[in-house]
Amino acid sequence: MNRKKTKITPLDVIVSIFILAIAAYIGFRITVGLNYKWNWAIIPQYLWRYDQESGRWVANLLMIGVFNTIRLSFWGTILATIFGTVMGLFRVSESVFFRLIGRSYVELIRNMPPLVLIFIFYFFLSDQIMPVLHLQDTLCAQPGEVQRVCEILFAPPEYFSAFVSAAVSLAIFEGAYITEIVRAGIQSVDKGQWQASYALGLSKWQQMRYVIMPQAMQRILPPLAGQFISLIKDSAIVSVISIQELTFQGMELMAATYLTFEIWITIALLYLIMTLSCSLAVERVEIHMAKNPR
């Protein structure tokens, strides 16, 4: 397939110069107007540091925040996909009861501020459910190897309850939007596909599994990818319950160093890297699915 050659127009040049001029003016106002002393040289040491005891480079505050954000986004995405898929199927179910459950879930969660949802789940799960299950105490009593695996996959055992609360609250919030994406994708498939598969003697599950969902997935994937990227960005809100993700680490570091602009610009770039990587990965999946639709 021949790709169109990129042509730079005079308008592109004018817009680029205008953007650079605005960026230069903002930098000038920060430096001169606020009398701000830039100190970019100190930022790399908060990304990685050399550990004298182990003799190797290890993650420092900002990279620890990045890894925690990735863990939180990963589990939040899995749970949100499960919630959204189940509720999306409820939304298109022939059962009035299931449709009512799906509709109530979407309307309740989408019209509730995520911060309120996070506080509700944090205080309910961490204070009421987790102590009854004794999961955190059990993990803290495990050997070092088990605790290390838990720290790699989730969070340190002492923060496990808060991590679960944050992941579940994010998943439930994002799941409401995924529900509508799944519903819209299924309903976008032509009704003739349902009728044809029914005429072939397929059950309702077989119709969904072999006929409807393969077609719906190609339409669901682009908005679903946008929702996953949104989850990475929305994970910053759990900093209010002291989850040591990227935004929380940035606030702690800024309070200690007063390097306001350097830290927040670095954090913005780190978020951009994570979201852009996810976007490119999904783009590759879309290309693969377009070439291999079945």
Q: Which residue has the higher pLDDT, 146 or 134?
A: 146
Q: Tell me, what's the pLDDT at 36?
A: 79
Q: Is residue 11 part of a domain?
A: no
Helices vs strands, H then E, count in the chain: 13, 2
Let me know if 61 is exposed, middle or buried by CB neighbors in 10 A (0-12, 13-18, 19+): buried
Residue 193 forms part of a structural domain: yes
When comparing pLDDT for 1 and 49, which is higher?
Answer: 49
CA pseudo-torsion sign 16, 17, 19, 24: positive
Q: Establish if 27 belongs to a structural domain.
A: no
Mean pLDDT of the chain: 86
Q: Does residue 269 lie in a domain region? A: yes
284 is a domain residue: yes
Which range among 92-106, 216-230, 277-291 shows the weakest confidence by mean pLDDT? 277-291
Q: What is the count of structural domains for the chain?
A: 1
* pLDDT given at position 86: 93
Residue 248 above 50 pLDDT? yes
What is the per-residue pLDDT for 102?
93
Per-residue pLDDT tens for 176-217? 999 999 999 988 888 888 888 888 888 888 888 888 888 888
- Judged against a pLDDT cut of 90, whether residue 288 lies above it is answered with no
Predicted local distance difference test score (pLDDT) of residue 155: 85
Question: 267 lies in which domain range?
Answer: 68-291
Q: What percent of the chain has pLDDT over 70?
A: 96
pLDDT for 1: 45
- Mean pLDDT, residues 273-284: 87
Q: In terms of pLDDT, which residue wins out, 14 or 32?
A: 14
- In the structure encoding, which two tokens stand for residue 129, read together? 């459910």
- Asked if residue 223 is part of any domain, the answer here is yes
pLDDT (tens digit per residue) in 47-93: 998 888 878 888 899 999 999 999 999 999 999 999 999 999 999 88
How much is the pLDDT for 63?
A: 93
Flag whether 50 is in a domain: no
The rounded distance, in Å, linking the Cα atoms of 275 and 282 is 11
Q: What is the mean pLDDT of the segment spanning 15-24?
A: 90
User: Mean pLDDT throughout 131-153?
Assistant: 81
Cα 64 to Cα 61, 180, 183, 278, distances in angstroms: 5, 34, 37, 19
Is 51 inside any structural domain? no
- CATH code of residue 191: 1.10.3720.10
